[in-house]
Chains A and B, each alone.
Chain A
């Protein structure tokens, strides 16, 4: 029976793996149930196991392995395992044996002796694996690794035998996957074995791989990066101090490498060694390490290398602080002090010229050393503290003084790291000792305050350093008291409020940020000192505000410092009180009122980022209070559109964050606006006046949840939509107000998108849509101005409905798009152009119809619209009957859509789009929106998907069009004025038809700038590995074209041209040239 299975397996193995596996498990089951014995099986297999054909032997071994793996862990007895082990070890070179052994050694009854036997077998048989495949080697290493983790003691007992055996087997490996495994095994040996007798062997086994130059192939399926290998190797090197006599000299030699990458690897390895080796070892090497590493800071070529070097310096100090206890009597002197002494000395020497480059670097070094531990801070501060003071007194010139303050600031930072800050204690100071800066506190405060307050304002960087230092002093744990921080706050107040603006106002901004920071941890100081000062600066009315003008920065300051809850509430209360007075005045414009409202909104919005926060407390005061006032206002601020929109935005925010009762109350008052003389009988439509109030109603309506049923939302919605439509229309025929029309249309969008839900209502909306289409396509004579205005209004209404339906993907969404595009085709050019503009609104960001307002925006809506519409455009575009005008109309519509969807949606359609986009760049249109939208899309295409561009073969066409779009034609460069005058004639259509498409159309500055930016991006992203750089043949042409742009009248455009030209000069090379770095 056993013979049958064995034969069956061997026969099946070639053709049918699953079948073979079945035979093996069949045998395993029999073995498990005691139906046969292991001896029988081996006997039965014997014929094949002895075969001279290695293939047959392999199958037989595989058979045994398969049986072992199919067995439960306990089936094989203490007698079976050694037999199998011995047998497989003797056949270890045969295929399948390793597999079987790795299964076998996982069994519980696998003994120590078995493991050692196996290890020895591997050492003997796999001493040279150079001609084996990667996968085979990997299998051996895996088995070694498992032995190491499952049978650690057995390996340890082998002592040097296992150590040398392993090292020998893994030597010469090059594959990254195998190396990952090998490094982790070697690390175990370094840590757990006594390697002192084999330092050279172990070091060579690891260091042979340093530095790692591996570069993963593109699309590497194993995902091993050079950094993974570097990290493992670094851990190996850093694992034991025994290697130090080899590691450090060799690594330091490598530090002279010209490659920045190698230098970085060396420094990181050194830092890892410094933090892992024991202090006694590091003490021996600390001085030579410092002597070598310091150059990387003092003469830093790259900031990142300097940072790595500083890390080494710091880690050495941390290491040496560890063991400098009385228990180490063998040291004559404290190794930490010995290490820091030359550092302090050299840094002080450099600091004698404070403004020099190496003095700045010395500050960094001192910070790194001092921030290591409390002990090292002490050593450093004692050595350099007094010296810094005398230096500060003796140095002349602001630039030197500034440099000294910067160095001292770094010491402050180190102190915070060691001793903790006012908000967070430090891990390094568990005993909460006060910082050693305390000794110098008074002098420091005096010097810094004087530097900040008694220096002319032109000395920006000096004062910036002083302001930074004062904040750092305030932030120290247990250093300055409340009164002293209060003094600092007063200085800061003075700078923000009393000083005249200078330059970029860097100091004011820094100081303002500092106040905001202080406000977070010391709110009381800000409440008492800063807040009243700022509030006092606010003007009382618009006239005063117009005279002072700096209220904006005061308001910004107030908003920034009012971070705590109490301060925030106080601020809003004060601002609302101001508003109460302001809304009663009258005038022409209300910039100050708007500024205050903006501040209220900004502060509320910022605090509303906390999703738990409710704004109910402001409902009565703001929503009810101001809405009521607005309802009765016929002039003054509350009849001003800008003010009302800002108020509406605020009201909207508060309602959204209010209780359901308040939301219901708001719903009752959409049109009534909380008027006390509530005319219950009158229908709400009579309340849609005064018309400006509609703006407020819109914002309230937008804030109400979809589920709301209160007020008019509980009544049939279709009649309301009709009324609103009429209102928008009637408004057109009488006194026209854009605000009223827009408010009506916005309300219609909200109602259709959010609230219409019944089937018959949806059907009604569909009818609305088709009648709107008819209205737009109808041949209503558009000659009279009034007629034209009506028609425009009808278009806007059409897009209002379309947008509301498309965003929620109503069932007739596709028909909407088809109808709109048909209209585009059938209307006369002039009208079609206007219609085309509307496409930009369909998917555009909308403050009213937004996610926060719970609008129904289906996730797939933009994608669906885009995917539907682009092929239609493309088809119409290619239609031979399409006139140039029609093509341009499509491009306008397309650009509107492009401008409002994310690039993820655009990219898949790129093959269809690219030809259209290229055409758009040529469009001879005074309206630059098309080009701007196209160029913005092109920017994304170039950065995110350059391969698609290269494949399309459109690069030369694109580049030439970009250069053309970037260039201002000579004529208009000379007479920019004339062309500007021409543009204001706004006779878009005549310029369109008159100008032949070949004529150069002048681009707006923004267009030119964007086109140049695209040109800047091209060399950076378009690089093809396989073929020669497609830009190379264009280089001369582009450089010549760009030379003209260098003389553009606009500075921003010139800047972009300079950048583009620099890129084309130096980054457009043959592929092999750019590979050298």
Chain B
């Protein structure tokens, strides 16, 4: 008989085995973030020209480990927790086959250990992209494959839970929007992992000698179906987290469920095609393929992101205005709970993702102007805005929400927590902006020494480039402090936070269920149909939420200006006239 507990503060239901899985995955993710963050500090201190910390070989090893640990391990562990939360808790359903979910978890852990061992043994400094014909040790690929299989099991457990919930009628009507967002993430994840299998299994076989040759161009095409799509899992999932937080903190209802769902549908259909933007400069693939996949398809996906970027703050605005914060354009925003890290984290994530990540992403995805910044430090600048300010900060905000609800502990150091999103989001935004600026001057990514000391083919960057990289270094240190604060607060709360439930001991923080008496075998009441929508007829949403409308216009204008600046740069690259 399945057992549930209901959170006395929020009313959320937790299925006992699902709860343990959420905890275990979230904690495993945090451990990965700890490792990845320390490595990130080493990387940024090396790319800070005045510090130039690591020697060359260590730099490439550490950079490989940093990319993989943060981007793949931290984010996907946490995503598993989100899938179980969105599938089980939000649908008030038991989790399908918890045993399989645990098997997946174990595979993921083994995968992490295997890949990191390979990297730190030194023979696998192939960067996160592991392009052939650069060879890595077999257990480098094997670890990634095991991790992916584990994650795939998690995806199927989520889909299975949807089926269980439907059959057992745990909800009325359609699944909630946040669960729909998780479903979108899950679908993209399945495509991602399938693509990963297509390319990493042959590469593994190549590394042990069963296959003699893997074509480099072929590798890149299929690898990027993994590399890009995996980022779109994050986008779908962190947008779902934005909706969730807006709903929990403000009681905000999406301005139009229909529009938001349609935007997710655009993600499902088109987001993955944009993988082609990583191959814009590759020979051997036609412009037809590049243009179809990056223009027509990508812009539909970008449109979807703009819809989410509009409806999430719009929903908050409507909810705030309904509470009487109606003065002027922005009272609703000024009087938002900026001292609550759940809100500030979520909102900085949204703004950082939209303004820094979104604008630079479209520029990089445009075939002609992408070439100016291809393979420069601009690229890490861009994706630290999306995947760190955007996704990572959203995960952090969600963690603050979950410490009392899921872990039943009170958060420690609330004063520090107040500042944490600003430190992390602010520091990382500095990294993103100044790396992008340095990249525009041509500073290479994945490069140990921008001074080319002692190289026969040297190159002099302007002094500004050094300055920009130095400022990015300062931003990186601030971000690392913010990241450390997050880990201190979360781990500290799990260990020492005031217990909100008498049985919430230390083991319970890491996955052991609470005392039996907390759970009951009674089925949760069926989740009622979502109440009527906040705004009927989405055509006039600009008027229901004028502040958001203004924000969106600012975004649009910034984008257009920046876009044309880049075309101007392009025209100056070859001063032929």
Report whether chain A binds chain B.
Answer: no
Taking Cβ atoms with an 8 Å cutoff, the residues of B that contact A are none
